[in-house]
């Protein structure tokens, strides 16, 4: 069965990079899908490749997801109309994983609603380190097959090659498991702080132990950086403690307006991210692992 990688708008470079990886080179081809808006704002799609009998991989990172979801659902329906044997989604960043419970009465559990909207259209989903917290595994909410790619090996490789004497710092207990993994792979020490969220932009992060900082470059590691208040709070503690300038490393560079400036203003020496969301901070490439994951996904 042939494999066709079909990028949604903005994901063309990622699809091309994936096709060049050893796991897919010669085994997968690129497809073309035109997506545009009618004057009234509705979506127009046109498939410009043959997908009959194919394993189709829709490539769509899902940051700022609201405007991306409907074209994605339509694209899945369209390729099935044209005879795709299997429809998978590579979403390096999977949105709507943070509202995974009702924090206040009456709130919508959008992590579940998003999964329930998306997964019936898919045979499988591949993503990178989804924000799994109160939902422990994607299968609890996604009804299709899923595979999670971990950014830890690539992050550890980057840290070991670029940061002298790193000390990894995770912002909250939830981060312990994978900060520990990155630290072990980078052969570096780590510590974990505690975080209390009071609002969208109000977080409190505990102060690191000063005795652990001496001689090290602090490396703040988190899965998502959005407003950057979590990392900025930590950077302020580090500055007050007289630590060396810190490096900030994110898996998913969501970075709302002003977030990078907030980090540099709070003393970050460097801000880098994995390329799950296209952003100037992208320095850690995950294509190798993504291509292997796509290649491994079974026929449904
Ligand atoms: O850049 P910011 O706007 O500070 O957001 C980033 C933080 O938010 C996320 O956790 P979050 O507090 O949403 O969730 P949790 O309760 O699931 O840990 C994420 O893991 C970061 O720690």
Point out the ligand 1 atom lying closest to the alpha carbon of residue 197.
Answer: 12
ipTM value for the complex: 0.95
Q: What is the pLDDT of residues 216-241, one digit of tens each?
A: 999 999 999 999 999 999 999 999 99
| Amino acid 178: pLDDT | 85
Q: Are 237 and 208 in contact (CB under 8 A)?
A: yes
State if residue 234 touches ligand 1 by the CB under 6 angstroms criterion.
no
State if residue 174 touches ligand 1 by the CB under 6 angstroms criterion.
yes
Q: Are 250 and 227 in contact (CB under 8 A)?
A: no
Q: What is the pLDDT of residues 176-195, one digit of tens each?
A: 988 999 999 999 999 999 99
The yes-or-no verdict on residue 292 having pLDDT over 80 is yes
Q: What is the pLDDT of residues 121-156, one digit of tens each?
A: 999 999 999 999 999 999 999 999 999 999 999 999
Q: What is the pLDDT of residues 60-71, one digit of tens each?
A: 999 999 999 999
3-state SS class at 91: strand
Six-digit token string for 182: 């990155």
Q: What is the pLDDT of residues 64-108, one digit of tens each?
A: 999 999 999 999 999 999 999 999 999 999 999 999 999 999 999
Q: What is the CA radius of gyration of the chain?
A: 20
State if residue 222 touches ligand 1 by the CB under 6 angstroms criterion.
yes
What does the mean pLDDT of the chain come to? 96
**This model's pTM is above 0.90:** yes
Domains observed in the chain: 3-149 (3.40.50.2020), 152-283 (3.40.50.2020)
Point out the ligand 1 atom lying closest to the alpha carbon of residue 134.
Answer: 17
Measured between alpha carbons, how far is 266 from 88 in angstroms, rounded to an integer? 41
Q: 45: part of which helix (H) or strand (E)?
A: strand 43-47
Residue 300 pLDDT level (bands cut at 50, 70, 90): very low
State if residue 11 touches ligand 1 by the CB under 6 angstroms criterion.
no
| Amino acid 285: pLDDT | 97
């Amino acid at each position: 069965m042939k494999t066709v990688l079909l990028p949604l708008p903005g994901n063309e470079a990622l699809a091309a990079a994936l096709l060049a990886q050893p796991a897919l080179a010669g085994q997968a081809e690129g497809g073309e899908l035109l997506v545009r808006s009618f004057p009234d704002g509705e979506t127009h799609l046109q498939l410009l490749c043959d997908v009959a009998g194919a394993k189709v991989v829709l490539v769509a990172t899902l940051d700022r997801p609201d405007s991306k979801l409907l074209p994605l659902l339509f694209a899945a329906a369209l390729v099935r109309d044209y005879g795709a044997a299997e429809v998978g989604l590579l979403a390096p960043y999977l949105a709507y994983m943070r509202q995974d419970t009702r924090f206040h009465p009456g709130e919508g559990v959008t992590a579940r609603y998003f999964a329930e909207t998306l997964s019936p259209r898919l045979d499988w989903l591949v993503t990178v380190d989804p924000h799994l917290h109160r939902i422990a595994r994607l299968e609890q909410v996604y009804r299709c097959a899923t595979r999670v790619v971990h950014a830890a090996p690539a992050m550890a490789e980057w840290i070991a090659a670029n940061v002298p004497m790193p000390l990894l710092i995770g912002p909250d207990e939830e981060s312990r498991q994978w900060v520990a993994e990155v630290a072990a792979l980078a052969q570096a020490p780590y510590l974990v702080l505690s975080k209390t969220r009071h609002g969208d932009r109000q977080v409190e992060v505990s102060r690191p132990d000063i005795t652990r900082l001496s001689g090290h470059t602090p490396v703040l590691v988190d899965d998502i950086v959005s407003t950057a208040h979590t990392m900025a709070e930590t950077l302020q503690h580090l500055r007050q403690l007289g630590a060396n300038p810190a490096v900030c490393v994110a898996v998913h560079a969501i970075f709302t307006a002003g977030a990078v400036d907030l980090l540099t203003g709070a003393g970050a020496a460097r801000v880098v991210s994995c390329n799950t969301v296209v952003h100037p901070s992208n320095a850690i490439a995950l294509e190798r692992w993504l291509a292997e994951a796509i290649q491994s996904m079974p026929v449904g």
